[in-house]
Amino acid sequence: MADADQINQPTANRSFNDAMVVDANASRLDGVAKVTGRARYARDVTVPGMLYVQGIRSPWGVGKLAAIDVPAAKAIPGVVDVVVERDTGEYDGDWIGHVVAESRLALRRAMRALAPRWERGEPKVGIDPGQVVLDAPDEGASAAYRRAAHIFEAEYSTPVQTHSALETHGLVVEHRGESAIVHASTQGTFAVAEEIARFIGLPRSRYEVRCEYVGGGFGAKFQIGREGSTAATVAAATKRSVHSFCTRREEHLDTGNRPSSHIKVKLGVARDGAILGGQIAVFGGTGVARGGGGASIPSRRYALGEVSAKTTNVRFNAGAPRAMRAPGHPQGAFAEELMLDEVAALAGVDPLELRLRLDTDESGARRAMYRAGAEMIGWSRRHANGAVPEEGGPIRTGLGVGSTSWGALRGPAQAEIVVHRDGAVELRSGAQDIGTGFRTVIGIAAADALGVPLESIDVRIGRSTLPEGPASGGSVTTPSVTPAVIAAAQDAKRQLLEVAAQRLGVAAARLTIVGGNLRDGERVALAWADLCRLLPTESVVGSGRFDGRGGTLFGEGHSHGVQFAEVEVDIETGVIGVRRVIAFQACGRILCRKTAESQVIGGVIQGLSYALFENRLLDRKTGAMVNPNLEAYKILGSVDMPVIEPILWSDATQTGARGLGEPPVIPTAGAVACAVLNAVGAPVRHLPMTPDKVLAAVDAAAAQPAGQPADGRPRREGGAA
């Protein structure tokens, strides 16, 4: 039977990841509640007499409502109201009205009885590659081209990626006459509390937002959406509780997405592979929105000379983007990393060596990660791009690498620690846990600062009546709330020690709390329960604040990272099998090893899914999405999963937590694309890297003549196959 130490090893790098860890073995505090079904999500909430809301939506990219039978729908028993707000739709899923009913069955019957008839228009369904052009070069780009030994030109594209959270968007308004509880699936407890005020018809003091458990949020759950605002409006008008959640189809169509991109690159390259400068044009697909299509290229992680970059937002008939885990960065990193590998092949240099020369990280952390990762992945066995071995059957192997970084984003936060006379300890923060393990992480921070075991702390989160915290976006929550929690714990500890010092007749400076015991120097003076019984009142409250700017508990620096990928490609079928990903990630002071590793692994999984599978497909004639479900909208599954090895990179000077949510998702698709290039000898420049695109790259590699690579592609050893 495995011993306890083996059980606590979810990765191959346990000893490596133990460095600078506050708690190496703590499991999620809410783990049992989640796996047993005891955890109550917003969508689980039911209230006697509750009403149900569903949107009436356009089914086409461009549509005009010719007829709709509102009286027939209202005649259905249990239907409370039918509202048609307008008669045109600009995209599949566009909200034009809603139905309110007393049961889900009545709601479904009413939606059928409406029998809407639409006149379909001519939609625009994406970015036209023909419009993706570079402007005339400026003086800097022209100078780079004149000095260059090589001119590199390429185009890259990425598709729309939908959020696909397990719990769809929505909320329940539990109306109680003169007050209400809003159960929301949200990334921002206080954002919902503020936004819903316009609709709910109650003063701020008379309603509370709760989101103790959230079924996933990757950036699109900051707003309450039409589903939320309508629920609040109906609740205010009827004085009844209202349930309003999107269906899975609606989730794909109208709750935001990572926008598509088409990126054109032209660079002047020196003989040794150094990039002298050039032009980059990003065309971002924003659906019906006017902005939000940018991609982070150049990323500034590499010295690319004097590059002029321009972004153009392209509108068409589809749902608008919203923030999605590292907005704009995975699109840009895919193009930038593959571009660097192609430039390296053009110049005949090793792509890892090129990155080491071009890397701009002054701390040297990424260079150290590159070297450590190269040893772990076995970079020395990698064949050169353009020297793809022919023997060994149809399976080709390849190695690739990519980098990431994320700034030190912070926001104001408050927290409270309440120590009761019976020894119970409460940690209070109104911020939400969207699945990252935030509840556990701040519990560990509080336990460490107060000097008690984690299991003695009751962590209360996700309520707007608790101390305010930031929304979960930009990897800001843990680095912002943790300093406030530590300050609150230190305040509570100070009060306890002052009480103990007075009762024991000693100086407070001699006392401390370790392992739940009051110590006088090295001697245990009182057990925790006895210490708490000394309190003159029922409890003491420790308060902590963080202003979002700095201080001794502030986590300085960027969350740098490097990922290495190993792939196998079947050149007869075009199927890519990712075998291994090694993910180095700087994350400052690691509070909880398991949740930190889980964040890195989750980011890699999302990046792999983006690289290989995910793609919103719109019918070119109708504008309707043809795969608005989790069967035809393919995401990475267990059979597709590689070995993922997270390496948590710390240094002794880092005393605070850094952001960890965004950076792991950024480099994965680019690293895999570089590995595929290494495997087959030609790039796959358009995501997702499906078998048809891989086979086209195999054919292109085989057709390349000996000598100068065509179109920036590396040549195969020995010339044409």
Instruction: Tell me, yes or no, whether 229 lies in a domain.
Output: yes
* Domain final residue, candidates 218, 245, 272: 245
Show the tokens assigned to 165. Answer: 């959270």
Average pLDDT over residues 340-361: 97
d(CA 721, CA 719): 6
| pLDDT reading at 407 higher than 90 | no
Establish if 32 belongs to a structural domain: no
Same domain for 650 and 582? Answer: yes
Q: Is the pLDDT of residue 38 over 70?
A: yes
Q: Which residues of 299-442 form beta strands (DSSP E)? A: 306-315, 395-404, 413-420, 425-428
pLDDT of residue 60: 98
- Please report the pLDDT score of residue 548 as a whole number: 82
Q: Output the pLDDT for position 14.
A: 63
Residue 422 falls within a domain, yes or no? yes
- Which has the closest alpha carbon to 282: 106, 158, 141? 158
* Confidence grade of residue 296 (pLDDT, cut at 50, 70, 90): very high
Domain membership of residue 156 (yes or no) is: no
pLDDT for the residue 589:
87
φ, ψ for residue 608, nearest 5 deg: -65, -40
Instruction: Give the mean pLDDT of the chain.
Output: 93
Domain boundary residue, one of 512, 546, 580: 546
Strand pairing category for 21-23 and 590-592: parallel
Domain assignment present for residue 250? The answer is no
Is residue 62 domain-shared with residue 211, that is, in the same domain? yes
In the structure, what pLDDT confidence band is assigned to residue 13 with cuts at 50, 70 and 90? low
* pLDDT-derived band at 69, boundaries 50, 70, 90: very high
Measured between alpha carbons, how far is 464 from 453 in angstroms, rounded to an integer?
27
Q: Are 432 and 461 in contact (CB under 8 A)?
A: yes
Domain of residue 375: give its range. Answer: 257-407+554-703
pLDDT value at 298 more than 70: yes
For the record, the structure tokens of 269 come out as 């390259």
pLDDT at 16 over 80: no
Q: Enumerate long-range contacts of 37-40, CB under 8 Å, 24 or more apart.
A: 39/212, 39/213, 40/212, 40/213
Residue type, 168: T
Q: Are residues 94 and 240 in the same domain?
A: yes
Same domain, 199 and 312: no
- pLDDT above 60 for 712: no
Please check whether residue 456 lies inside any domain of the structure: yes
CATH at residue 97: 3.90.1170.50
How much is the pLDDT for 557? 60
Task: Evaluate if residue 604 carries a pLDDT over 50.
Answer: yes
User: Is 345 found in the same domain as 295?
Assistant: yes
Same domain? 567 vs 661 = yes
Residue 346 identity (one-letter amino acid): L
Total number of domains in the chain: 3
Helix or strand run (H / E) with residue 691 = helix 691-703
**Do the domain assignments include residue 158?**
no
Is 60 exceeded by the pLDDT of residue 706?
Answer: no
| Model pLDDT, residue 409 | 84
**Are residues 573 and 595 part of one domain?**
yes
Of 665, 649, 671, nearest to 599 by C-alpha is 665
Question: Do residues 583 and 464 both lie within one domain?
Answer: no
Exposure letters 625-663 (e unless 16+ CB within 10 A, then b): beebeeeebbbbeeebebebbbbbbbeeebebbbbbbbb
Q: What is the pLDDT of residue 720?
A: 26
**Helices H, strands E: what count in the chain?**
19, 29
**CA nearest 696: which of 522, 530, 569?**
569
What 8-state DSSP symbol labels residue 77? T
Report whether pLDDT(412) > 80: yes
Confidence of residue 31 (pLDDT cuts 50, 70, 90): very high
What is the pLDDT averaged over residues 14-35? 86
For residue 638, the 8-state DSSP code is: G
* One domain, residues 177 and 272: no
Burial class of residue 719 (count of CB atoms within 10 Å of its CB; 0-12, 13-18, 19+): exposed
CA dist 86 and 22 (Å) reads: 56
- Mean pLDDT for 209-236 is 97
User: Are 333 and 462 contained in the same domain?
Assistant: no
> Which residue would you say has higher pLDDT here, 393 or 620?
620
Residue pLDDT, tens place only, 560-583: 999 999 999 999 999 999 999 999
Rounded Cα gap, residues 43 and 431, in angstroms = 19
| The residue to which tokens 């969508």 are assigned | 43
Residue 594: the pLDDT is 93
523, 546, 569: which is the final residue of a domain? 546
| Residues 368-379, mean pLDDT to the nearest whole number | 97
Tens-digit pLDDT profile for residues 55-64 = 999 999 999 9
Where do runs of H (alpha helix) occur along 505-621? 528-533, 593-612
The model scores a pTM over 0.85: yes
Q: Are 623 and 557 in contact (CB under 8 A)?
A: no
Separation between Cα atoms, residue 440 and residue 436, nearest integer Å? 9
User: What secondary structure letter does DSSP report for 271?
Assistant: T
- Please write the tens of the pLDDT for every residue from 116-162: 999 999 999 999 999 999 999 999 999 999 999 999 999 999 999 99
As a whole-number percent, the residues of the chain with pLDDT over 70 amount to 93
**Same domain, yes or no, for 372 and 519?**
no
Q: How confident is the model at residue 717 (pLDDT cuts 50, 70, 90)?
A: very low
pLDDT at 713 over 50: no
pLDDT for residue 716 is more than 90: no
| Residues 520 and 538 reside in one and the same domain | yes
Which CATH number characterizes residue 455's domain? 3.30.365.10
Average pLDDT, integer, range 330-334: 98
**Residue 142 included in any domain:** no
